[in-house]
Structure 1
């Protein structure tokens, strides 16, 4: 059977699409006679229409097109005030049903930019008519997708993507929707995919989930994936899910040429030795597990880069000894050196990111790293997805803190958030003072003193913090700092603010003192949240002590997965792999980016959300 299914018919389809504020159900039939409309349920169905699936979706004609366009332009520039001003001119104007729907959508976007998720849902819930134009429906679904995707509600986001595909549109927009849909599906754990598959009443959506279960499992061999795909295709010929397969899996199945010899280059002596051994143990744990299951016949040679004068010399030796792929090195200076080689005869999967411009064939240099940028990206998106918009950034003074704060602030502002204040501390003794100043409690206390002086009497007083902050980004460098700062937020009248932190606040090793971190939302690698338990048990049983560096164990484990799926990287920006450090994607210049998971401290333990 051929790899790809026949193309889904590009013909005119009769559709009914249901828009929901919290959940979507697909219906490929006519609309029900008695629509429902309630929060979290199904709104009234959108118009049943004839759609040309290859043509761009066009907004219906309106005498208010200019004002609607002004509002769209303002919202694209995050100017919600300008959008409101444009829409205010429509307040007393007679409107067609299409105009009313479009106006409700634009008001929902304004509410979203302000972080008012409830008002956004209310505006969309107001679409209680039985008909909505497809182009407006697509905009509504796109807005709903943005909200749920950012919040980490990947199952709902994926359902919305499937609905948008049914609406049709031009090829470019359909491709973009499909890419995002597969990214959402890869973001859902296999257990959650299976649970969703069991409860969905919709056969078309169940087919999406069935295919995702087969193709997103990074533990399966190419033969197992191909067999599962072929069986799925026989049951669902012409289904849009396979046109093409997501994540670049079809590239892997078609182009796979398994490597036979891997060289793992690490500095096994000196300052970086503990980190290197942790990476090695993670790599070998996945390697031996794959061999035990008959999923790999590769051989591994371990090369100590400390025994060579340069990283290039170690790489050339690995090539001369027959390596088909080289994994490593670990430190950035060595990665920079190898990035300057005019030729790399065998592919190189580094364990850090190059800072220097890459020369030679960029396709032969793939860079996997535990980059702080990846944590910052997930952190900002998850907070924004909850409707939070104005942040207090708490960070240590110095270069590390400045870099962390700059990265998070850049990601946050790019989404549309604002940094209302910064609290910078120099040591643990300065935590309280830094928070007090940033929260403007000194101003509150001064006002109380002024009142006392004016009245010449004692006045009962409770300090009040500034009210223009709705989230705290805690960028502490250690668990000790975080355990001190989290209780101080409550002491300084900011205990009601949600706190989001990077993985630097947690060592990865359980500690009873972490009860002081309860309530913190943290981005973390799946490895520390229960993923790949067999490999973690094997590393602990090896008694090398490397399990004290769990994130580096996860980095090594992902390096093994990536080198196995190297042909899949030919899919470029479509590439996706569910890894132990996060959801892996291929970014510009061969850099692998990671989308980590959000977790919460409860009872001193970290629990995945």
Structure 2
């Protein structure tokens, strides 16, 4: 019994050391994005007793805590707050008080007070509490940092948590370390490596830098990294699916591109092809081999299936394409598919589980909706105004936002749609409830029978606007109307289709507008982009060039997808991850219009 208590005390002491190092960069509200962090050296954490980090301590107030947890699970922070009022302050243990503080932090965060949530979590630094409560508090702090976009801090915290986390969660924490390091830019990683003293986290940083160096043999570099970091948790199973990259594969021997090279979709097909070939030649320039390629013009065949069969008959081991939704439906629903496919579009229907894998990579705007919602929520927004065009596209974006925003814990305060230019102002007024304000003023005038000085008042329950216009012209017309109608103080988020990809003086009307954009247009691969335009190809289809470049990236390392949820690609269209439905989803980057120029905030 004495030995058990000693081990528990050692674990608590080690966690307090961890809290001390984390406190240096986790207090005082929202951290600055990707700021390098120096931490004090950590002691080796002792092995926790079984389930100490997963099983909460016993409490006579368990029912109240469980009721509050249930309310927070549905984002009902008000009910959780009411429930916790029943706790008798005088009859609470140290662990009870810690649990209460943790729940109060969740309540604060749920209603948008992020600084208060962080402050409450940091108060636990000074409390000697049960490891399971420490684990919950650290996990929640990690979630806040990640949603705020502090990639480096959240990666470092995930690495710390992984050292004492329940065994069945260690793989998820390791995946999270790597995901957040992938979100950080190279300069951030280099600066952090120069100041971080914890050897284990420095090993993570060095591995992330190795993974981004395409100038030499990656297998040799990874072998050298392993030799330099014996016993590192990433050493046995390389993160991101990198370990699969060095397994022999026959799927890259001969690749067929099924693209429309003639007909009405020819400009799009050629743009994707140009991006793919730019990636192909850049990879070849490093001295590493690539597959043989052959292009099949889908417009020359009766169907995508016919083009697929023609490619397979010539010994193709992998297909890239088709590009259109109709062709993807045709190819995806066939029952016999002997060769795997990397399709360049996405369809909503569930495909039959037959034949070789069919992976879908696309420029789906739904991915952008998710990225925009995550960023806005991470910045503290909770109540949104949504403005969309009438029609199928607007309905689709509205559904995507509602599903994800409410899952996060947000609320759609108002949704307005517009049909055309003449409808823009009325739609904005409806979203802001200015029409109701004007009606109230008209009622007052009718009562008093004279002119009354009146300033319209917009609704006050909103803290963000999602402006999901279909093009830049619509956005340039609507964005200034928000300021004109007394909503100029609200942050406005849009999708990438409000930016053509080239600078335009007219975009001054979008000044201050946030949008989610692909890394390609924010300078992720300037050499590849220049190679395309220098070859005499215009930049009018720049996003399709990026799709082609990412198609090569994924095709060239297709076996990495065997890692499933761990597979990760730092692509030019976004951070690429594949779900269990074999759909690759993109995580986009935040950008803002500064005058007419688009740049990172």
Task: Determine if the TM-score, normalized by the shorter chain, exceeds 0.5.
Answer: yes
Work out which of the residue numbers 59, 62, 81 in structure 2 matches 1:62.
59
What are the within-5 Å matches in structure 2 for residues 183-194 of structure 1? 183-194=179-190
- Kindly indicate whether the alpha-carbon contact (under 8 Å) linking 1:53 and 1:168 is maintained by their aligned counterparts in 2: no
State the 1:48 CA deviation: 10
Q: Which residue of 2 aligns with 1:163?
A: 160
What are the within-5 Å matches in structure 2 for residues 227-246 of structure 1? 227-246=220-239
Distance 1:304 1:530 in 2: 31
* Matched residues, number: 584
Q: Could you say what secondary structure the match of 2:598 adopts?
A: strand
Work out which of the residue numbers 383, 390, 395 in structure 1 matches 2:376.
383
Q: Could you say what secondary structure the match of 1:126 adopts?
A: helix
What are the within-5 Å matches in structure 2 for residues 281-292 of structure 1? 281-292=274-285
Distance 1:607 1:375 in 2: 17
What are the within-5 Å matches in structure 2 for residues 329-344 of structure 1? 329-344=322-337
State the 1:167 CA deviation: 2.2
Q: Could you say what secondary structure the match of 1:334 adopts?
A: helix
Q: Which residue of 1 aligns with 2:408?
A: 415
State the 1:98 CA deviation: 1.8
What are the within-5 Å matches in structure 2 for residues 262-411 of structure 1? 262-359=255-352, 361=354, 363-411=356-404
CA RMSD of aligned residues (A): 2.8
Distance 1:282 1:16 in 2: 49
Distance 1:454 1:340, change over 3 A: closer
Q: Which residue of 1 aligns with 2:489?
A: 496
Q: Which residue of 2 aligns with 1:553?
A: 545
- Kindly indicate whether the alpha-carbon contact (under 8 Å) linking 2:360 and 2:582 is maintained by their aligned counterparts in 1: yes
**What do residues 500-523 of structure 1 show as CA deviations (whole Å, max 9, x unaligned)?**
111121111221111111111111
- Kindly indicate whether the alpha-carbon contact (under 8 Å) linking 1:445 and 1:463 is maintained by their aligned counterparts in 2: yes
- Which moves more between the two structures, 453-462 or 422-431? 453-462
Residue segments in structure 1 that go unaligned for 5+ positions in a row: 1-11, 27-35
Q: Which residue of 1 aligns with 2:7?
A: none
Distance 1:447 1:308, change over 3 A: closer
Distance 2:40 2:261 in 1: 63
Instruction: Say whether residues 1:562 and 2:554 are aligned partners.
Output: yes
Q: Which residue of 1 aligns with 2:5?
A: none
Distance 2:566 2:473 in 1: 40
Residue segments in structure 2 that go unaligned for 5+ positions in a row: 1-9, 32-36
TM-score by length of 1: 0.90
Work out which of the residue numbers 168, 188, 191 in structure 2 matches 1:195.
191
Q: Which residue of 1 aligns with 2:598?
A: 606
Distance 1:566 1:17 in 2: 44
State the 1:22 CA deviation: 11
Distance 1:575 1:220, change over 3 A: farther
State the 1:172 CA deviation: 1.8
Q: Could you say what secondary structure the match of 1:535 adopts?
A: helix
State the 1:282 CA deviation: 0.5
Q: Which residue of 1 aligns with 2:575?
A: 583
- Kindly indicate whether the alpha-carbon contact (under 8 Å) linking 2:39 and 2:197 is maintained by their aligned counterparts in 1: no
Q: Which residue of 2 aligns with 1:30?
A: none
Distance 1:201 1:44 in 2: 7
Work out which of the residue numbers 131, 134, 139 in structure 1 matches 2:136.
139
- Kindly indicate whether the alpha-carbon contact (under 8 Å) linking 1:44 and 1:129 is maintained by their aligned counterparts in 2: no
Distance 1:53 1:272 in 2: 62
Q: Which residue of 2 aligns with 1:71?
A: 68
Q: Could you say what secondary structure the match of 1:485 adopts?
A: helix
Work out which of the residue numbers 168, 173, 184 in structure 1 matches 2:169.
173
Instruction: Say whether residues 1:87 and 2:84 are aligned partners.
Output: yes
State the 1:235 CA deviation: 2.0
What are the within-5 Å matches in structure 2 for residues 85-124 of structure 1? 85-90=82-87, 92-124=89-121
- Which moves more between the two structures, 534-543 or 354-363? 354-363
Distance 1:320 1:582, change over 3 A: same
What are the within-5 Å matches in structure 2 for residues 119-130 of structure 1? 119-130=116-127
What are the within-5 Å matches in structure 2 for residues 451-530 of structure 1? 451-455=444-448, 458-530=451-523
Distance 1:581 1:145, change over 3 A: same
- Which moves more between the two structures, 228-237 or 40-49? 40-49
**What do residues 380-424 of structure 1 show as CA deviations (whole Å, max 9, x unaligned)?**
111111111111110111111111111112111121111110121
Distance 1:453 1:343 in 2: 73
- Kindly indicate whether the alpha-carbon contact (under 8 Å) linking 2:41 and 2:198 is maintained by their aligned counterparts in 1: no
Distance 2:140 2:354 in 1: 39
Distance 2:530 2:49 in 1: 50
Distance 2:64 2:349 in 1: 48
